[in-house]
Amino acid sequence: MTPFILPGVRVLVAAALEEDLGRGDLTTDSTVAADLMATAEIVAKQDGVMAGGPLVAMVFDSLRADAVTVDLLVAEGASFATGDVVAKLDGWARDLLRGERVVLNFLQRLCGVATVSKSFVEAVAGTGARLVDTRKTTPGFRALEKYAVRMGGAHNHRGGLDDGILIKDNHIVAAGGVAAAIEKARLAAPHTIKIEVECVDDAQIDQALSVGVDAILLDNMSLDEMRAAVAKIGDRALVEASGGVRLDTVRAIAETGVDLISVGALTHSAVSIDLSMRLALVD
């Protein structure tokens, strides 16, 4: 699903513009003539993966900058190199300058998420393990960041708490144990919803298997523990590994035979890709 049609994304764009512009762009309004036309290029200052291109036009639409045209030169999910022009813009110079920082902030963040996602995907290539994100996202940016994860070739876990049942440690404590939590969830959940439970040791895995569960999340287990868990569970449930997964450890985790690896770093630790906008006046 594309996030760009979601009302919340348009609200986010409007809020970003309000945050940056406030009562107006004092510098641009005082130094740039209202009748100047310009062209601009968004240039990559480092290698990366494209994500969020449609937001460029959304920003200028929200500015009511009708004269601005946007030409995206790198497809969503495609790689770009240092020095590449990823987009060209034409319009009134004042409009281009007013939207510059908001456009770059969105693109830099989402390209950063897509880029780190691709690096993790490449690290597990050929293993059969699927990389998924988490809910460790920037508040308000979840739909966009999860979209960027997909542009990097990884996959999405739950979009929110209403998107599936994942029984974690605190739920287990409150419910009175792994088996009790699963049974309570099964009674409450519609037949279309799968149930996953987080397990920290062999005993909890045994409890989960004894009452039947769709997926088991192995939380912060060693590689040997994961291999043993995969052998024990077999085809009785999907197996997900989670907990402090890094780029230098993800391959070894994938090779234990788990089906899924959830990586919070895809979003919470992604570093923005450096982009800049270069303006030139139109004769």
User: Does residue 122 belong to any structural domain of this protein?
Assistant: no
* Measured distance CA(205)–CA(196) in Å, rounded: 11
User: Does residue 224 belong to any structural domain of this protein?
Assistant: yes
CATH number of the domain that residue 24 is part of: 3.90.1170.20
Residues 106 and 167 reside in one and the same domain = no
Confirm if 203 and 228 have CB atoms less than 8 A apart: no
User: Does residue 15 belong to any structural domain of this protein?
Assistant: yes
The boundaries of the domain holding residue 33 are 3-114+271-281
β-bridge pairing 130-132 and 260-262:
parallel
User: Does residue 129 belong to any structural domain of this protein?
Assistant: no
Residues 101 and 199 reside in one and the same domain = no
Q: Is 251 a catalytic residue?
A: no
* Measured distance CA(93)–CA(133) in Å, rounded: 39
Residues 167 and 215 reside in one and the same domain = yes
Q: Is 255 a catalytic residue?
A: no
Tell me which residue of 270, 246, 272, 1 sits closest to 131, measured CA to CA. Answer: 246
Residues 103 and 20 reside in one and the same domain = yes
Q: Which of 88, 130, 135, 136 is catalytic?
A: 136
User: Does residue 136 belong to any structural domain of this protein?
Assistant: no
Contacts of 70 (CB under 8 A, 6+ apart): 56, 57, 60, 87, 88, 89
User: Does residue 163 belong to any structural domain of this protein?
Assistant: yes
In this prediction the pTM is 0.95
* Measured distance CA(259)–CA(252) in Å, rounded: 13
Q: Is 136 a catalytic residue?
A: yes
Q: Which of 10, 41, 90, 101 is catalytic?
A: 101
pLDDT in tens, the chain (283 residues): 789 999 999 999 999 999 999 999 999 999 999 999 999 999 999 999 999 999 999 999 999 988 999 999 999 999 999 999 999 999 999 999 999 999 999 999 999 999 999 999 999 999 999 999 999 999 999 999 999 999 999 999 999 999 999 999 999 999 999 999 999 999 999 999 999 999 999 999 999 999 999 999 999 999 999 999 999 999 999 999 999 999 999 999 999 999 999 999 999 999 999 999 999 998 7
CATH number of the domain that residue 237 is part of: 3.20.20.70
Q: Which of 168, 236, 246, 278 is catalytic?
A: 168
Q: Is 198 a catalytic residue?
A: yes
Q: Is 19 a catalytic residue?
A: no
Residues 92 and 164 reside in one and the same domain = no
Domains: count for the chain: 2
